[in-house]
Structure 1
Amino acid sequence: MSIPVTPRLHDHLAEAIKDPDPIRVGDDLICLRFETMKVYSALGAVRHLLETGAVRPGDTLIDSSSGIYAHALALACHRYGMKCHIVGSTTVDRTLRIQLEILGATVEQVPSSNDLQLDQNLRVRRIAEILRDNPTYHWMQQYHDDIHYLGYGAVADLVAQLVPAGPLCLVGGVGTGASTGAIAEYLRDRGRDVNLVGVQPFGSVTFGAGHTQDPDMIIAGIGSSIEFRNVRHELYDRLHWVSFDYAMSAAVDLLRTSGVFAGLSAGAAYLTALWEHTCDSARTHVFLAADTGTRYVESAFARHAEARPIAGLRPREIDSLDQLAVPWSAMSWHRRASVRTQREQFPSATPSH
């Protein structure tokens, strides 16, 4: 499967690397493999802020990131002549940090923690301190601002070209909501039949799994212990919660079988897409690989000998959130409202404690 591409000279690396590589990894199963997916989000947001006068060239943009968005925002700031400050988690490794610094971004990292809530809260608290001391800085709020939806219309156009007809299933990390949610919404607005399947880590509050935890480690970037206000829950048809162990096993399998070297969220999305395809083979399934596997070499890929054969893995199908259990649970969401709203409307779909 290929799309004819007319070569063109790009004005900046951010424009050149944003487009994904579409790769067929199975029958009616397509991987959109990005180098750094959130370049779409950052470029669209920064461009909109400049066009509306909310910021001016030379202003400082600040945000928290576990890695992917940090790189994307630094590139967008470099592209548009902005300054950039990143409050990062320890998943911002040395390779990325050096790139960010050379691009002109200032980077600080919060203390190491395997506690999802502590990690997120420390970063948000630090941003509040910086904004207090630097009131002219603009907080990008990738977790809260709908402005981050704007850039993904181009990805929806790409998916529409890849699969010009027929029903689709889009699978990927929920994250801030401004990726899987945005792409699905743009496609639906264009009249496509799209099922949206979101992937979450255990411990994320976004879809009500705050009472669970992964015994191994956090899958950075696809969920959080703090509320992400720009997630539009009513866009999602299905949810899967995948552990580190299963995501690592799937990421290793994806590399071994297709050559695609991608992160843990891609492994979780790949595993989810394979399962969803067995349940609904009438749809073409497209899953997102949001970044490369580089920053997971030591924590995940070096453990490839421990990877489980994914052919034998099955999710626990649940119908209420108090049934959530590691290592893999799945639930039909039916485009319902947020968990907070459901506590009023759907009591059986929320934890019992």
Structure 2
Amino acid sequence: MPSSGTSTSTPLLHSHVTDAVKAPSFIRLSENVVLARFETLKIYAALGAVRALLKAGTIRPGDTLVDSSSGIYAIALAMVCHRYGLRCHIVASTTVTPTIRAQLEILGATVDQMPPARDLRLDQHRRVERVQELLRANPGMHWMRQYHDPVHYRGYREMAELVREALPDTPLTVVTSVGTGSSSAGLIQPLREDDPSTRLVGIQPFGSVSFGSEGFQDPEAIIAGIGSAIPFDNVRHELFDRVHWMSFRHAMAGTVALMRAHAVFAGLSTGAAYLAARWEAQRHPERMHLLVGPDTGHRYVEQVFARHREATDPATLEPVEIASLDELTPPWSTMAWARRGYPTRHSATSGMVVGARRSGRPAGRG
């Protein structure tokens, strides 16, 4: 007899909203593509990092945590600070919407938002400079360094356990945006402890330094959570099996197609990953493809969803397969990365105290 769609199990009662929103919903999109849909994926990063820092005594209730964010990490960190009695200061990207800013302020976070910039590279550099100014003026602040501190990997082990439960005993490919590198490294490493053959496919926008496309510019690029204008130490290049580089227009096509075909209202990075996952799944029908959808589509309403009539049919889109970065070609290229490393770059944290709080407290306190 078909299910009525109701459940007789006792619902979970959560003590804080962070527990309620952190777990994904797993949605089957096709025979070998499953979406892990999140309200905000970075709850795992913020929870894992803050819990580890509290346990180590690096931070304590009442301390101020500061970081730079384009949106979803800011909300996650503010929620976790709310949970653990910590203060929060966000240096916000110019792309942070009034809706996100209002939530941050209600949660008690203070916000520095960058002025409009001609491109996201300038925006990102301004945010780093502002964080450094704050640390010089307020040495008791703790810089969370979501882009550089591997403590942000910690929380994703719990997500890996959920993935194993949802998709047991199947060859798995994880398709996700590269972004800060925390979720990809934090998820794939525990999955490979069980199955070293688990593949990792990363998505990048043109213009990102993380996988060598900084020589390109995409005038419409607003894919704030996929790439980077500065080197991120948390990006572990040697973990990736394949990389896809994608333009804004292609990511928009994937985002609109995901909603049309599956009624899933998700962010632009999810749409880009959906386009790549469809392509991967056609070529590897023997593998299950886990598409990571880190957030909802609310901050892309005007730039993407209101323009849905402009979206290209993804069935007409194909990447150019390249053998080296010299062949990189917009609007969509893909390359077998084969778990290679990447030349060491000058870190955005050079000249700063790395891996410790900037504080006058004794070493035992941080």
Q: Scaled by the length of structure 1, what TM-score is found?
A: 0.94
Task: Read off the aligned partner of 2:209 and give its amino acid letter.
Answer: V
CA distance in 1, matches of 2:249, 2:290: 23
Alignment of 1:36 onto 2:40: yes
Alignment of 1:166 onto 2:170: yes
Q: Which residue of 2 aligns with 1:18?
A: 22
CA distance in 1, matches of 2:267, 2:118: 18
Alignment of 1:285 onto 2:277: no
Cα distance, 1:181 vs structure 2: 2.1
Q: Which residue of 2 aligns with 1:75?
A: 79
Secondary structure, counterpart of 1:340 in structure 2: coil
8 Å CA contact 1:36, 1:290 repeated in 2:
yes
Q: Which residue of 2 aligns with 1:350?
A: none
Cα distance, 1:190 vs structure 2: 2.3
Cα distance, 1:7 vs structure 2: 2.5
CA distance in 2, matches of 1:232, 1:76: 26
| Unaligned stretches of 5+ residues in structure 2 | 346-366
Task: Read off the aligned partner of 1:164 and give its amino acid letter.
Answer: P
CA distance in 2, matches of 1:193, 1:333: 15
Cα distance, 1:257 vs structure 2: 0.7
- Determine what percentage of the aligned residue pairs are the same residue: 56
**Relative to 1, partners in 2 of residues 1:224 and 1:6: Cα closer, same or farther, differing over 3 Å?**
farther
Task: Read off the aligned partner of 2:92 and give its amino acid letter.
Answer: G
Alignment of 1:209 onto 2:213: yes
8 Å CA contact 1:110, 1:122 repeated in 2:
yes
Of the three residues 263, 270, 273, the one matched with 1:266 is 270
8 Å CA contact 2:94, 2:123 repeated in 1:
no
**Alpha-carbon displacement from aligned partner over 1:161-220 (angstroms, at most 9, x marks no partner):** 111012100000011111122211110012353110000111111111111121322311
Q: Which residue of 1 aligns with 2:241?
A: 237
Q: Which residue of 1 aligns with 2:252?
A: 248
Of the three residues 52, 55, 61, the one matched with 2:56 is 52
8 Å CA contact 2:320, 2:333 repeated in 1:
yes
Alignment of 1:96 onto 2:103: no
| Unaligned stretches of 5+ residues in structure 1 | 342-353
Task: Read off the aligned partner of 1:84 and give its amino acid letter.
Answer: C
CA distance in 2, matches of 1:340, 1:306: 40
Q: Which residue of 2 aligns with 1:320?
A: 324
CA distance in 2, matches of 1:153, 1:6: 26
Matches within 5 A, 1:128-143: 128-143=132-147
Q: Which residue of 1 aligns with 2:185?
A: 181
Give the superposed CA RMSD: 1.5
Of the three residues 109, 116, 126, the one matched with 2:113 is 109
CA distance in 2, matches of 1:236, 1:181: 9
Cα distance, 1:114 vs structure 2: 4.0
Q: Scaled by the length of structure 2, what TM-score is found?
A: 0.90
Please list every run of at least 4 consecutive aligned residues from structure 1 whose deviation after the TM superposition is greater than 3 angstroms.
Answer: none
**Relative to 1, partners in 2 of residues 1:336 and 1:141: Cα closer, same or farther, differing over 3 Å?**
same
8 Å CA contact 1:212, 1:325 repeated in 2:
no
Q: Which residue of 2 aligns with 1:310?
A: 314
Cα distance, 1:281 vs structure 2: 1.0
Q: Which residue of 1 aligns with 2:335?
A: 331
Q: Which residue of 2 aligns with 1:220?
A: 224
Secondary structure, counterpart of 2:154 in structure 1: helix
How many pairs are equivalent?
A: 340
CA distance in 1, matches of 2:11, 2:208: 41
CA distance in 1, matches of 2:344, 2:274: 29
CA distance in 2, matches of 1:114, 1:288: 30
Task: Read off the aligned partner of 1:285 and give its amino acid letter.
Answer: H
Alignment of 1:122 onto 2:126: yes
